[in-house]
Structure 1
Amino acid sequence: MLLKDFYSVVQTTKKDGHFFTEIKIRKDHELYQGHFPDRPVTPGVILMQMFKEELERQTGRELKFSKANNVKFMAVVDPNVDDILILESEIEEVGKAITLKGNARNNGCLALKINASYN
């Protein structure tokens, strides 16, 4: 985990080739002291990292980000409003490369859409 104790995985389920991972964000994490003290916002790069870490957990492989074809930040993830994040992942392995199509939802809203490749 890149950020020590930032989140914990509550559960992961698989349905129709998709992984659904429920993550609990630690809203008192020191990251939020700087981003931002009066209104905490989970940085987009951290959301992207969570997908990478979850993908590594699902595949049992250490991966390196290769490229993103499409990344859209759709809503702010404020842990004081809702500290549960749902990652939906669809993965495809071709040789050593893995492609990910993912959505992150928080407080019932789509927060992030990502299509990325990893090696």
Structure 2
Amino acid sequence: MLLQDFYSVIQSKKEEGKVITHIRINKNHELYKGHFPDRPVTPGVVLMHMFREEMERQTGRKLRFSKASNVKFMAVVDPNIDDVLIMEYETEENEEVITLKAITKNNGSIALKINAFYN
């Protein structure tokens, strides 16, 4: 994990061809002291990185981000308002590439939509 102690998995399950993972963000993490002290916001790149970590956990493979398309940040993730995120994703994989189609939800809204490729 790149961000040690940033989040923990509450539960993860496969349902109707996709993985649904509930995570809890550590709202006291060092990251929020700089981003931003009076109003913490989870950086979009961190949300993207969490998908890679979760796919590595699910597949048992070490992955490297290759490219992304259709990346949309749609809501602010403030850990003081809602520290639980729901990550939903579908993957297709072959020997060389894993294709990800995913969303992150918090507080009833979609915070991130992404299509990404890892190898």
* CA distances 1:76-112 after superposition (whole Å, capped 9, x unpaired): 0000000000000100002320000000001111000
Structure 1 residue identity aligned to 2:15: K
Residue of structure 2 in register with 1:105 after alignment: 105
Let me know the Cα RMSD of the aligned residues: 0.6
TM-score (norm 2): 0.98
Unaligned segments of structure 2, at least 5 residues: none
Structure 2 residue identity aligned to 1:12: S
Structure 2 residue identity aligned to 1:83: D
Aligned-pair CA distance for 1:70: 1.5
Report the Cα distance in structure 2 between the residues aligned to 1:19 and 1:4, rounded to whole angstroms.
23
Unaligned segments of structure 1, at least 5 residues: none
Aligned-pair CA distance for 1:15: 0.6
Structure 2 residue identity aligned to 1:117: F
The reply to whether residue 81 of structure 1 matches residue 107 of structure 2 is no
Identity %: 69
Residue of structure 2 in register with 1:95 after alignment: 95
Structure 2 residue identity aligned to 1:101: K
Of stretches 106-115 and 92-101 in structure 1, the one that deviates more from structure 2 is 92-101
Residue of structure 1 in register with 2:118 after alignment: 118
Structure 2 residue identity aligned to 1:32: Y
* CA distances 1:30-63 after superposition (whole Å, capped 9, x unpaired): 1000000000000000000000000111111000
